[in-house]
Every structure is written in structure tokens, then in C-alpha cells.
Structure 1
């Protein structure tokens, strides 16, 4: 028995090295209680799977938010006229993605536009790579988690959908870039141990 154990010891070590990071990431993400976490944003608990939403790209094609499964997705909501607060959110999403460096391809950005106001071409060029998607407000209110405070608005926040297709985090109104950056770094680190999900 001892000889057999010694013979397979390298295999056991290899399995442990492979499995432990994945197990640790799973435990850190799903099992550690919220009080043990130090997130800047607010965790959505329970997490909400992305439903079928009535979405249309600005070019008129149907858009399914679930097609981005396999990536981290930053989501914001605003009208097409895009005031200064809207621009700040677009800039935040772009900068946070850029600051991840070589990991930026793991992040998608979605702007859910709740009206038919035309989008300025300059704005679309400035935030190229963002998915510009039109929808209605009622389905978003049912899906996107708002804080339980008076006057809370969908336009106030940026949300995060994880690679498994679950709404899992909400950043506060007028979020600080440093806090968002810490959260993004933690999320990417945790996900590094996950088995890659086929978005199909």
C-alpha cells in the first residue's frame, strides 16, 4: 500500500495544485459570509440570473445580455441625451476596463438606454466598444437591484454581472474610482481560478 501511495504521490500533488485554487476561489466567492468581505460596492444577495430582456441595439438588431456570458459585464442605465452624470459613468466603465491591462478583454460594457433620444456620434466614438442598447424601464426595475432608500434611481449606479451570468454587485452613486478599482481587481483575482465558461 505504501509503495502504491508513493508511486502516485506526484499525481496527487498535481491534482491538489490544480484543484485547490479553484476550490479556494469558489469558497471565497460563494461561501464566505458578506461580513467577511471588504467590498466597496454592495453585493446583490441572492444573486439574480440575467433574464430575457426586451433589448435592441442602436442599429435595430436584437440584443441578448446573456450572450456576454463568460465575461464580466459593467451595466449602466441612462437616457440617450446623456448628461454629465451619464458621461461620468461611461468614463468610469472605460477607465476601469483599461486599467486592468491585459485582462481588459474579460470585461464588457453595456449602456441600457431607456428612451429613443438619438445618440451623438461623437459620444459613440469616444466610448467605442460599449454596447449601446435600447430598452424600457419597467423590465430593468424588476431586474436591477436598487438600494432600499428613498429616491433611489437606476441612473445612479453601475452594476456588475459575473461570467456565470448573475447580477452580483452594485457600485454606489458617484462611485470613487479607487474603490471601484479595488473591487475589479478582487473580482478578476477570484475568477482566475474558475474554469473558463463557454459563452455559447
Structure 2
């Protein structure tokens, strides 16, 4: 007769083949928590990813081109750039961050080329449909003269702001072939970075194409 303890026999037995082993307690919940953290991080990073695509998908390299010239490195709106609105109150231009800005610079007299730029900006914004609310058109006036009633009434959707021409010139670049600030339309992203300059005497349909891409691929503004 065997005197071996039955409990000893059970303790020495190996688990039957095919028996499922339990995962250590808490491992499954830890993995779920990790995936949740990764998902949250991706959602938070999505706007920045969209902005990156917006800048570089249309970059003029390879088979895809932009009509406007990308400004590299980007130039943030100077905190020192103070403008005056129609109400006569000063404010920082940087306070307009949060929207895409199409910017034109000219004298308050606004001759034919000036009006043409404002017209192109208005039409490009209007053709964006529901997305147009993401864009603010800005006319930076380099003097405190009066804007004509015709221009004022035709472009009610344009912010007409007086700015120091020296401050504006220090911020906005021109082409190497001798163009002036008043020759261009500029694009500023919702983070307040100047990121694109359109050529002199631009084709508005091509400006529209660039703006449409920027709004499509960017989740900001």
C-alpha cells in the first residue's frame, strides 16, 4: 500500500495539454488603457498633422505644385504690430489668430490695382462655400486717409485696418525681382504664421485652388 500523500500527487501533476492559462491579473486592462492613451494622443495631434499636410502637400516639389510661394521659415505676426480699426481703437494684429487671413497692403486711397486685390480676395473667400467663415480678409492701410465710400460699401466683409508701413514691411517679404508689398496678396495661418505669398497680378482661380487645399487638409481655423 502506498503511503504517498494524495495532495502531493496532485501538486506534482502537470496541467493537462490544451488547458488555458490565465493572464496575470490587470494585464488586459493595462493594454486597453495604453490603446486609449494612444487614441487620445492621435486626436490631439490631428490638427497639427492636418496643418503639416496643408503646407507640404501643395509644396512646389515633385508632381504637386502650389500657385502661391510658401514662406519658409514661416513668419509669425509680430506681437509689436499694432493696428487701428474703423472704431479708432488700437489692437494687436495677432489678436486675429484663429482664422485664415488673406492680407492685402495698400494706401487708403486704394487705386485700381488695390481694388482688384480686394475683389479677388472677396471672390476667393465667397467660393469656399460653408468654409468661407474660416477666412478673414484684411486690408492693411499704410496711412490714416479716408477709404472711399464705394470701396467701404463694396467690401464690408473686409477688415480695413491702419498699420505702420515700417512694421508691415519688416514682416511681409517681397519677390527677389523687385516687387513691392502692395503687389501681393498674403496668406496667414490660424496660428498667426505668414505662410504663403501670391504673385503680382495673380490669377484668382489659382489662388482659389491653393486656398481650397489649405482648408481641406487643415483641421485648424
* TM-score of the aligned structures, taking structure 2 as reference length: 0.75
| Cα root mean square deviation, aligned | 2.8
| Equivalent position of 1:119 in the other structure | 147
Partners of 2:55 and 2:214 within 8 A in 1: no
Partner-residue secondary structure (3-state), 1:35: coil
Kindly report which structure 2 residues correspond to 1:49-88, keeping only aligned pairs within 5 A, or say none: 49-51=76-78, 52-88=80-116
- Cα deviations by residue, 1:116-146 (Å, 9 ceiling, x for unpaired): 3211122111100211111222111110011
| Equivalent position of 2:210 in the other structure | 183
Match of 1:25 among 50, 57, 75: 50
1:4 matches 2:28:
yes
Gaps of 5+ in 2: 1-22
* TM-score of the aligned structures, taking structure 1 as reference length: 0.83
1:176, distance to aligned residue in structure 2 (A): 0.5
Partner-residue secondary structure (3-state), 1:46: strand
Aligned residues: 192
Cα 1:155–1:15, aligned 2, differ >3 Å: closer, same or farther? same
Moved over 6 A (4+): none
Using the alignment, how far apart are the partners of 2:124 and 2:207 within structure 1?
A: 8
| Equivalent position of 2:16 in the other structure | none
Cα 1:174–1:20, aligned 2, differ >3 Å: closer, same or farther? same
Partner-residue secondary structure (3-state), 1:181: helix
| Equivalent position of 1:168 in the other structure | 195
Cα 1:26–1:91, aligned 2, differ >3 Å: closer, same or farther? closer
Using the alignment, how far apart are the partners of 1:164 and 1:23 within structure 2?
A: 10
Using the alignment, how far apart are the partners of 2:66 and 2:141 within structure 1?
A: 28
Q: Which has the larger radius of gyration?
A: 2
1:90 matches 2:118:
yes
